[in-house]
Copies of this chain bind each other. A is one copy, B any other.
Amino acid sequence: MKKILISGFEPFGGSAINPTERLINDIKNESFADAEIRTVLLPVHYDECAELLLKEVRTFEPDAVIACGVAGGRTAVTPERIAINTKDVPPESVIADNRGARPQDEPIDPEGPDGLFATLPIRAMVNRMKEAGIPAAVSNTAGTYICNNTMYAVLNEIRKRQLPILAGFVHFPASTEMALEKPGLPTLSHDTMLRALKVIVRTTIDELTE
């Protein structure tokens, strides 16, 4: 029996919705052969996001961590290739974290490597999502905001403690109802994104049980 930890985020940036909150609520009700799923909702705050996820890693001892977040403007489900050792809210961005923090060009871990690759099977995830008719692509940047911070922190912890855990981050587009808040935003429906998350989980289980 493999254990999969899946995280989502609370809403941020003035939006009332974060589609990953609903996704983790719904994925809990799915059953996967040979796997136990645990989910956790993370706060949009530069330090606590990672702390809470790492606490779950320690207590649940998962075989894989799939952290999920929203990237408004994307059109496809995008597993991230790399997390980078940077916290930065660029001057041109209107979005601070949910406590107003706006770090600029700061390292997440002053002793950490510049970048850390996801260890989840991201190419297989993308291929299988496409086979299922779901728009998907590997992304080469998770940004420098909370999502990247969470991905870097969990990969860095696994690296430092040499844990046998696959980990990574998947960015989802805005959900269809979010275009009501922000006209013109590309979206995918919740149903499509839930199907995507199921493919992502199954691909991860297959990787673990091969």
Contacts and interface: CB of A to CB of B under 8 A. Distances in A.
Given A114-B82, A114-B117, A176-B134, A75 B191 contact: no
Assembly stoichiometry (copies): 4
Interface residues of A, number: 41
Contacts of A188: 176, 187, 189
A164 interface: no
Contact of A133 (B117, B144, B177, B186): B177
Interface in A60-109: 75-76, 81-82, 84-86, 88, 90, 92, 104-105
Contact of A84 (B115, B177, B180, B189): B115
Interface of A: 75-76, 81-82, 84-86, 88, 90, 92, 104-105, 113-117, 123, 130, 133-135, 137-138, 140-141, 143-144, 176-177, 179-180, 183-189, 191-192
